Amino acid sequence: MPADTVFDKETLFSELSIENWIMPAVYAGHISQVVWLHPPWARQISEGKHSFLVGKDVSTTTIRVTGTDHYFLSDGLYVPADQLENQKSLNLHVILINPIESSNGHEENGEVASAKRLKLDTDDRASATSASSSMGLGDLDNSTPSVKQKEVPNASALNRAGTSPECSASSCLKNSECPIREVVKDICQVLQKGDAYVLDIDLDFFSVKNPFKEMYTQTEYGLLQELYNFKKPHKNATEEGLLDCVENRVHQLEDLEAAFADLCDSDDEETLQKWASYPGMKPLVQLVHSLKTRMESPDYEMVHQAGLTCDYMELPHHVSTEDEIEGLIQSIKVLLKDMPKPTLVTVARSSLDDYCPSEQVDMIQEKVLNLLGSVYGSLDVHLDYSSTSSSS
């Protein structure tokens, strides 16, 4: 996104989506702390505290970061600090939330038993008024928190993250089994007394599907992974090594975007063979042939969007049992009961794009609203999605 877009409201709104709204908010000066609370099957960003700069790249005039996590490198977002104008500092805290085991029950006093351990990966997030923070699962002292719910079609998968004011989530983050009480202490260090924050909840935090796995065969998905595979830099890469990594990645993605744009116009054998001759593009032939045997007219733009999620880690895919959902609900309840009250709570259903299973989303929504009501009391709920869609 061009950095100056953040100061043009109408253009900005047309450019924003669920997977890209946090960095523009940071660049605009609205957020300086983000806490991403994630379930065990969502591990796109490494645990702990990540401190880096967000600014305007002097060469491309787009928003870029100095963060070196694979999440940013694979999107080609990294640049050195000396290439950024109008720099803003961001502290990103990544914290694992385990479900409370239902067999041990949930005590009203909030004590937590040992947590379940699962495997896999996804996201959640939040934002805050003024240059402070946001917490995501996504002014203080409001007696009736406002809850806004919306259907959000999303394009990639990191956008389930959370944000929140000055916080140091380092003490327990290295231990994936750390109790919820320890998580509360760490988050409360971020939420300094009197700071305003927004709690942003994505319902696919509780149960998530990778819709592309149902859209394409196992073979086709494997070919996409080959084509879009991100070659990670060496563990202790120098600045030069990181820049080379990003440059190669940007060229790779540009070639793939151009190839699928060409195929949208004509997917004849000549066009296919032309692109297959490019380095690393050989799997394209088998992929297109497979798609054309199953579909009269493949949606190559959608294929490219699916490929963009196949970089260094698969999208999370974990359709939770009701016990797992309830375990996460209870974990979040313990968390929220000991935290300051948010000024605003936002909820994304993420069911129109099939990230949150359609057969579970209403049940999860009901549980989340009941949870918020039990913690905060009377709620002022706005169902934004009901005015734009007849079905949820």
Say which amino acid occupies 384.
D
pLDDT at 120: 27
| DSSP string of 254-277, one letter each residue | HHHHHHHHHHHH---HHHHHHHHT
Please give the Cα distance from 347 to 369 (Å, whole number).
10
Please answer whether residues 123 and 200 qualify as being in contact, where contact means their C-beta atoms are separated by less than 8 angstroms.
no
**Residue 148 confidence class, pLDDT cut points 50, 70, 90:** low
In sequence order, which ranges of the chain are alpha helices (DSSP H)? 9-15, 22-27, 70-73, 180-190, 211-215, 218-228, 239-265, 269-276, 283-294, 300-307, 322-337, 361-376
Say which amino acid occupies 94.
V
pTM of the model: 0.79
In sequence order, which ranges of 63-202 are alpha helices (DSSP H)? 70-73, 180-190
**Residue 137 confidence class, pLDDT cut points 50, 70, 90:** low
Return the residue matching tokens 């609370």. Answer: 37
What are the residues facing 37 on neighbouring strands? 95
pLDDT digit string, tens, across residues 217-272? 999 999 999 999 999 999 899 999 999 999 999 999 999 999 999 999 999 999 99
Q: ∠ CA(259), CA(77), CA(232), 5° rounding?
A: 75
| DSSP string of 198-250, one letter each residue | EEEEEGGGTSB--HHHHHS-HHHHHHHHHHH---PPPTT--HHHHHHHHHHHH
What is the pLDDT of the chain when averaged over all its residues? 82
The backbone torsions φ and ψ at residue 208, rounded to the nearest 5 degrees and listed phi first, read -140, 145
Mean pLDDT of 82-87: 97
Question: Would you call 109 exposed, middle or buried from its count of C-beta atoms within 10 A (0-12, 13-18, 19+)?
Answer: exposed
In percent, the amount of the chain with pLDDT more than 70 equals: 78
Cβ-based neighbour number of residue 130 at 10 Å? 14
Q: 372 is written with which tokens? A: 């918020």
Q: Where are the domains of the chain?
A: 3-209+317-387, 212-307
Mean pLDDT of 167-184: 52
Question: CA dist 17 to 198, 206, 265, Å?
Answer: 17, 21, 27
Q: Which residues contact 60 (CB under 8 A, 6 or more apart)?
A: none
Least confident of 133-142, 277-286, 370-379: 133-142
**Residue 389 confidence class, pLDDT cut points 50, 70, 90:** low
pLDDT at 131: 39
pLDDT at 205 over 50: yes
